[in-house]
């Protein structure tokens, strides 16, 4: 069993902790928060309770943790990850790793130099149903069109409408619809189909400068892949992959939930249902553990994750340039 700490006190950290603990592979021994009282309240929910840190360097120096899960605002991912890597801790960091691909490359190199694992926490890569999706795509024949959609109205949108600037709509924190939701569309597009031959991108910019919604069209010699994402409205349609024998429908591309094949004759074939968020994140925690304790056996999978993280970081930067999204 490995010991881990967390950076961040949002709901996503709770989901990761629950999944990691349920796996039986991890023990929570530390949490970080800028405020002692916030950290204490968060830590009190878990056995131990874990030790509370308000100094990141002190936490990184602690012999009580082997690894850390980082879920802070995007802008702080790389600086915080670097602190832990420099102190010999393995790091799994929430998506997207960074708005700056050169930083991702630098930290991957640092981790390799120190013999550490540096992993992006992206659910898509670590779910067993990903293999079922790939098999379903082969069964419906050559894919000629795909629509990958993640439109989910933000719980912070009402605050924005009142004139506030929530973190998720603050470009100074290097976030917005593309970085928060669009990344879930970019990952399967690049993983399944590789780099496109041409790309166009558009964004709906809010008064804060952040993108509230966006779309991108990826052109391939044999297919079109349409990415749509928004934090201003709720989607009513599924993602889908159209082949010549049928269409693979995916209710949630981020969770790979409720996958089915709709054959050309109208018959429907269920492929996979849905899992709770903690279980999805538990699969991330299991992969993280496997990469640490079985480096040789898992090398191919780990290297694939690392290469895709770089490709996604580069691609997100290109989409932002094309769509006119600027971070200070």
Burial class (CB in 10 A: 0-12, 13-18, 19+), 87: middle
When pLDDT is averaged across residues 206-232 and rounded to a whole number, the result is 98
pLDDT in tens, 149-173: 999 999 999 999 999 999 999 999 9
Q: DSSP character for 182? A: I
Range list of β-strands (E), 86-238: 90-94, 118-121, 143-151, 198-205, 211-219, 224-230
Domain architecture of the chain: domains with CATH: 2-122+281-293 (3.40.50.720), 128-274+311-323 (3.30.360.10)
pLDDT class for 237, splitting at 50, 70, 90?
A: confident
Distance CA 328, CA 315 (A): 19
Q: In what order do the strands lie in the sheet with 90-94?
A: 51-53, 26-32, 2-7, 67-70, 90-94, 118-121
Averaged confidence pLDDT in the chain: 97
Distance CA 179, CA 98 (A): 9
pLDDT in tens, 267-324: 999 999 999 999 999 999 999 999 999 999 999 999 999 999 999 999 999 999 999 9
Structure tokens at 186: 């970019």
**Does residue 236 carry a pLDDT above 90?**
no
Closest CA to 215 of 170, 252, 177: 177
């Amino acid at each position: 069993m490995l010991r881990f700490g967390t950076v961040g006190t949002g709901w996503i950290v709770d989901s990761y902790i629950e999944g990691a603990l349920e796996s039986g592979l991890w023990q929570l021994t530390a949490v970080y928060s800028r405020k002692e009282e916030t950290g204490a309240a968060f830590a009190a929910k878990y056995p131990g309770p874990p030790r509370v840190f308000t100094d990141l360097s002190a936490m990184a120096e602690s012999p009580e943790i082997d690894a850390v899960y980082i879920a802070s605002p995007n802008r702080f991912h790389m600086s915080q990850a670097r602190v832990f890597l420099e102190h010999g801790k393995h790091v799994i960091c929430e998506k997207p790793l960074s708005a700056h691909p050169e930083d991702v490359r630098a930290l991957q190199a640092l981790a390799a130099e120190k013999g550490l694992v540096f992993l992006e926490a992206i659910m898509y890569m670590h779910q067993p149903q990903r293999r079922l999706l790939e098999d379903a795509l082969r069964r419906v024949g050559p894919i000629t069109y795909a629509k990958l959609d993640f439109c989910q109205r933000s719980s912070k949108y009402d605050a924005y409408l009142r004139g506030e600037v929530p973190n998720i709509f603050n470009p100074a924190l290097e976030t917005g619809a593309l970085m928060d939701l669009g990344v879930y569309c970019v990952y399967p597009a690049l993983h399944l189909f590789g780099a496109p031959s041409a790309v166009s991108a558009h964004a709906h910019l809010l008064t804060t400068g952040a993108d509230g919604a966006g779309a991108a069209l990826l052109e391939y010699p044999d297919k079109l892949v349409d990415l749509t994402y928004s934090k201003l409205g709720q989607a009513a349609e599924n993602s889908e992959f159209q082949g010549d024998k049928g269409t693979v429908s995916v209710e949630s591309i981020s969770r790979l939930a409720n996958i089915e094949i709709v054959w050309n004759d109208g018959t429907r074939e269920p492929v996979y249902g849905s899992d709770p968020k903690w279980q999805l994140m538990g699969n991330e925690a299991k992969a993280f553990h496997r990469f640490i304790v079985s480096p040789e056996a898992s090398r191919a999978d780990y290297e694939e994750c690392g290469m895709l993280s770089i490709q996604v970081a580069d691609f997100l930067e290109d989409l932002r340039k094309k769509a006119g999204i600027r971070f200070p």
